[in-house]
Each structure stands twice: as C-alpha cells, then as structure tokens.
C-alpha cells in the first residue's frame, strides 16, 4: 500500500516538474530596451519612476552617442527619467 502511494506521489512530482520545465522553455524572451522604447514610454505619459525601473529591470540596447542623446532630448525624454541622466 505504501509503495503504490509513494510511486503515485513521485510520478505526480515528476510530471509537475516536467510541465514546469516545458513552460519555462516556451516563455517568450523580452526584447531589450532601446532608445526608441524609452521615447515611446515617455510620449505615452509613463512616469519617470516607471521608466527608470524598466531601464534597470530589462536588458539594455541603448545608443548613447551624442547624436542619439540629443535625439532623446528633442523627443521630450526627461534627463532624470530617461537615458540622458545615466
């Protein structure tokens, strides 16, 4: 009796573990945050605090050349809440 119960529990745990592993592999990866993403968030009215949190939470792919920083400034991205302050 105990043996069949343990077999059932082990099978259930194994099934659950395999299911979670498969779900983990199927998750889409988040695209890196770019200058254009920051401009979109800023123009959409997101708070500076939110944009800063996203910058630290996501993998970045920023172009921090002088011309791109000027573009960000002209696009209305705050120096405090966008890339310009970093």
Q: Where are the domains of the chain?
A: 35-85
Mean pLDDT over 2-24 rounds to 49
The encoded tokens of residue 21 equal 């592993």
Specify whether the CB–CB gap between 83 and 41 falls below 8 A: no
Give 23 or 29, the one with higher predicted confidence. Answer: 29
Q: Which of 19-28, 29-38, 66-75 has the highest mean pLDDT?
A: 66-75
- From residue 11, give the alpha-carbon distance in Å to each of 1, 4, 15, 20, 52: 16, 10, 6, 14, 45
Determine the pLDDT at residue 31: 85
Instruction: Round to whole Å and give the CA distance between 38 and 44.
Output: 10
pLDDT score of 71 more than 90:
yes
Instruction: Round to whole Å and give the CA distance between 47 and 53.
Output: 10
The encoded tokens of residue 31 equal 């695209």
Mean pLDDT over 38-55 rounds to 91
């Amino acid at each position: 009796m105990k043996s069949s119960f343990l077999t059932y529990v082990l099978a259930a745990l194994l099934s659950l573990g395999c299911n979670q592993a498969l779900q983990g592999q199927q998750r889409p990866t988040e695209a890196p945050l770019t200058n254009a993403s920051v401009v979109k968030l800023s123009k959409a009215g997101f708070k500076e605090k939110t944009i800063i949190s996203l910058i630290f939470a996501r993998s970045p792919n920023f172009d921090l050349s002088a011309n791109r920083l000027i573009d960000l400034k002209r696009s209305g991205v705050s120096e405090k809440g966008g890339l310009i302050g970093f």
